[in-house]
């Protein structure tokens, strides 16, 4: 009999501890969900709160208060779930990278060959191409224009084409065009370093302007100065001129 009473008292003690924990948990949850009360009401409530936990338990177990707590819990969950998540800036996979900067090295510039007339005149030699001569005064490798003798046949262009084909290896006439400044002729022939050279002429009356230029420029890393010179071009043009029987003035003849 004594053991039965002892067990009942132990159960009541356990139930009391459990009820106190439930009461503390519910009060903590209500404190987080409900907005803070005004200071005056808070002081009054502190004075009127009974030190007995049974009053709080009775108020929570009141069926009239349960719907209010359920609504508050529902509102709190809705707000928590509806709050936006923090966003992070992620670069777009479709974003285009800036275009690469164009190279301005002498080697890259030598790959871009500009052919044809410039403002109706033969172009000067590029500064990045030592294998070139031109009758343009702005050229670093300058050559005097040719002169056609008075007793030479009238069809100078036809004779010029024939001289190129007879004196140069694998020569091909690329263009013959009449312009307001004369007749333009362009030819392509074998050059040095297994490359091809371009010959350009502008025949205007008895004056022949020209440019002879290698299309392949050789550089040795890390040097930025191209190999070669214009001697090969000078010899080529001299050979064509002698084949034609034309001549070029020089500084000695101007004395």
Average pLDDT, the chain: 73
Would you say residue 209 has pLDDT above 90? yes
- Tens of pLDDT, residue by residue over 119-157, are 999 999 988 888 899 999 998 789 999 999 988 877 999
pLDDT tens digits along 34-62: 555 555 444 444 444 444 444 444 444 55
Mean pLDDT of 192-204: 90
pLDDT score at 201 = 99
Q: Where are the domains of the chain?
A: 121-244
- pLDDT value, residue 162: 97
* 59-82: average pLDDT: 57
User: What's the average model confidence in pLDDT over 86-100?
Assistant: 46
How much is the average pLDDT of 222-250? Answer: 82
Residue (of 189, 186, 215) closest to 200 by Cα position: 186
- Architecture category of domain 121-244 in CATH: 2-Layer Sandwich (3.30)
Q: What pLDDT, on the 0 to 100 scale, is given for residue 149?
A: 94
| Residue ranges with strand state E in 116-248 | 132-134, 146-147, 172-179, 182-190, 196-204, 207-214
Q: Which percentage of the chain shows pLDDT scores above 90? A: 37
Q: Residues 249, 147: contact at Cβ < 8 Å?
A: yes
- Indicate if the alpha-carbon torsion angle 8, 11, 17, 19 is positive or negative: negative
In this prediction, residue 200 carries a pLDDT of 98
Half-sphere exposure of residue 53: CA atoms within 13 angstroms, side-chain side: 12
What is the C-alpha separation between 182 and 160, in angstroms, rounded?
14
Characterize the bridge pairing of strands 132-134 and 196-204.
Answer: unpaired
Give the pLDDT score at 176: 98
Distance, CA of 107 to CA of 221 (rounded, Å):
10
pLDDT at 129: 82
- Give the lowest-confidence range in 151-165, 186-200, 217-231: 217-231
205 confidence band (pLDDT: 50, 70, 90): very high
pLDDT of 87 above 50: no
Lowest pLDDT segment from 72-86, 92-106, 194-208, 229-243: 92-106
**Model's pTM, two decimal places?**
0.55
Rounded Cα distance, 199 and 176, in Å? 12
Tell me the pLDDT band of 26, cut-offs 50, 70 and 90: low
Confidence of residue 116 (pLDDT cuts 50, 70, 90): very high
What integer pLDDT is reported at residue 246 of this predicted model? 96
Give the per-residue pLDDT at 98: 46
Q: pLDDT at position 49, please?
A: 43
């Amino acid at each position: 009999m004594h053991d039965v009473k002892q067990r009942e008292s132990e159960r009541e003690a356990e139930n009391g501890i459990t009820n106190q924990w439930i009461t503390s948990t519910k009060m903590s949850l209500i404190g987080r969900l409900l907005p803070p009360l005004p200071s005056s009401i808070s002081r009054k409530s502190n004075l009127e709160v009974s030190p007995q936990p049974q009053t709080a338990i009775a108020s929570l177990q009141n069926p009239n208060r349960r719907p209010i707590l359920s609504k508050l819990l529902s509102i709190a969950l809705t707000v928590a779930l509806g709050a936006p998540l923090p966003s992070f800036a992620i670069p777009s996979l479709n974003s285009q990278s800036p275009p690469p900067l164009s190279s301005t090295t002498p080697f890259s510039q030598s790959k871009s060959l500009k052919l044809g007339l410039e403002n109706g005149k033969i172009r000067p030699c590029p500064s990045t191409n030592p294998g070139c001569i031109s009758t343009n005064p702005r050229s670093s490798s300058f050559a005097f224009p040719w002169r056609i003798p008075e007793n030479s046949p009238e069809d100078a262009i036809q004779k010029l084409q024939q001289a190129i084909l007879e004196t140069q290896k694998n020569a091909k006439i690329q263009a013959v065009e009449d312009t307001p400044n004369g007749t333009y002729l362009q030819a392509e022939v074998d050059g040095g370093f297994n490359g091809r050279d371009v010959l350009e002429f502008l025949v205007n009356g008895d004056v022949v302007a020209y440019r002879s230029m290698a299309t392949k420029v050789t550089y040795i890393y890390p040097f930025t100065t191209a190999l070669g010179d214009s001697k090969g071009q000078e010899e080529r043009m001299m050979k064509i001129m002698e084949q034609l029987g034309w001549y070029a003035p020089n500084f000695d003849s101007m004395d």
